[in-house]
């Protein structure tokens, strides 16, 4: 009598990573993604952050911490939490660092006659997407999000999962 060993159930996040990885096999494309995906997230958050938000009286001094990007972040973070609490917590750190950078660019513009923050974010956004499409041209495969828009959210945590694997952190 032989025993049948059942393969462990695959987590939904791993299935998404495998699907995402199908169009990210080329080393150059992967390197481009390590650079461009964080830049796209940063610049997109920055652009959405700068959209004027109505004043909400009861928030008082905390009004500046609540903007349209808050909704984008909340939606993305909820999705990440449903996929992997570990990757969610790592993204909390990433988003916090990006938010700090966004605020610093806002302050540079406002208090130190720096360039318009929206211009910086727009230039980063466009250049990073150009990089992404160059990477996919090199890869010879279309970007995953053209098949399913949720892959726009998978890219950032796909990168983080490699860090988790490298340091032995279960996600």
Stated pTM of the model:
0.89
Q: Which residues of 47-64 are buried (b: 16+ CB within 10 A; e: fewer)?
A: bbbbeeeeeeeeeeeeee
In this prediction, residue 59 has a pLDDT band, given cuts at 50, 70 and 90, of confident
Contact 52, 68 (CB under 8 A): no
Question: 91 is written with which tokens?
Answer: 């993204």
Per-residue pLDDT for 8 more than 90? no
pLDDT at 43: 98
Residue corresponding to tokens 């992967």? 30
pLDDT at 40: 97
């Amino acid at each position: 009598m032989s025993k049948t060993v059942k393969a462990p159930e695959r987590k939904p996040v791993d299935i998404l990573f495998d699907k995402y990885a199908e169009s990210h096999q080329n080393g150059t494309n992967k390197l481009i993604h390590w650079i461009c995906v964080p830049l796209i997230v940063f610049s997109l958050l920055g652009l959405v952050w700068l959209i004027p938000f109505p004043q909400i009286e009861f928030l008082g001094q905390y009004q500046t911490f609540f903007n349209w990007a808050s909704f984008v972040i909340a939606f993305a973070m909820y999705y990440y939490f449903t996929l992997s609490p570990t990757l969610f917590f790592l993204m909390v750190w990433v988003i916090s660092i990006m938010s700090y950078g966004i605020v610093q660019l806002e302050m540079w513009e406002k208090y130190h006659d720096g360039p318009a923050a929206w211009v910086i974010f727009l230039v980063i956004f466009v250049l990073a997407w150009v990089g992404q499409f160059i990477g996919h041209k090199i890869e010879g495969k279309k970007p995953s999000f053209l098949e399913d828009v949720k892959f726009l959210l998978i890219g950032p945590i796909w990168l983080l999962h490699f860090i988790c694997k490298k340091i032995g952190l279960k996600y």
